[in-house]
Chains A and B, each alone.
Chain A
Amino acid sequence: MSEGMTILFAISVMLAAVGGAAVLTWFERRLLGLWQDRYGPNRLGPAGILQVVADMLKLLTKHDWTPPFADRWVFIFAPTAIVVAMLLGFAVVPFGPGLHIIDVNIGLLFFIGMTSLAVYSVLLGGLASNNKYALLGGLRSAAQMVSYEVFMGLSLMGVVMLTGSFSMQDIVEAQRGGWFCVSQFLGLFVFVIAAIAESHRLPFDLPEAEHELTAGFHTEYSGMKFAMFMLGEYLGLILVSCMITTLFFGGWLAPFGMTWLPPIVWFSIKTFLIICFFVLLRAAIPRPRYDQLMSLGWKVMLPLTLLNLVVTGAVALWMQGA
Chain B
Amino acid sequence: MQLFESLISQLRTMWRILLHTFSRAETVQYPEQKPYLAPRYRGRIVLTLDPDGDERCVACNLCAAACPPDCIALQQGTREDGRWYPEFFRINFSRCIMCGLCEEACPTNAIQLIPDFEMCEYDRQNMVYEKEHLMIDGPGKYHDYNFYRVAGMQIEGKDKGEAQKENPPIDVRSLLP
Contacts and interface: CB of A to CB of B under 8 A. Distances in A.
Contacts of A3: none
B13 A37 contact: no
Interface in A99-128: none
Contact of A38 (B3, B16, B27): B27
A35 B25 CA distance: 9
Contacts of B20: 34-37
B25 A280 contact: no
Contact of B17 (A33, A39, A284): A284
B18 interface: yes
A283 interface: yes
B14 A300 contact: no
A5 interface: no
Contacts of B21: 34-35
A285 interface: yes
Contacts of B14: 280-281, 284-285
B14 to A, nearest CB: 5
A37 B3 contact: no
B13 A285 contact: yes
Interface in B1-42: 3, 10, 13-14, 16-18, 20-21, 23-27, 29
A165 to B, nearest CB: 33
Contacts of B10: 284-285
Interface centre among A281, A283, A284 (most CB of B within 10 A): A284
Nearest to A281: B14
Contacts of B23: 37
Contacts of A39: 25, 27, 29
Nearest to B10: A285
Counting contact residues on chain B (CB < 8 A from A), the size range is 10 to 19
A280 B26 contact: no
B18 to A, nearest CB: 6
B33 to A, nearest CB: 12
B17 A37 contact: no
B142 to A, nearest CB: 40
Interface string A253-279: 000000000000000000000000000
Contacts of B29: 39
Interface in A36-91: 36-39
Interface in A146-168: none
Interface in B103-122: none
Interface string A217-258: 000000000000000000000000000000000000000000
A37 B16 CA distance: 12
15 contacts: A33-B25, A34-B20, A35-B17, A35-B21, A36-B20, A37-B20, A37-B27, A38-B26, A38-B27, A39-B25, A39-B29, A280-B17, A284-B14, A285-B10, A300-B3
Given A33-B25, A300-B3, 17 more contacts: A34-B20, A34-B21, A35-B17, A35-B21, A37-B20, A37-B25, A38-B25, A38-B27, A39-B27, A280-B14, A280-B17, A280-B18, A281-B14, A284-B10, A284-B13, A284-B14, A284-B16
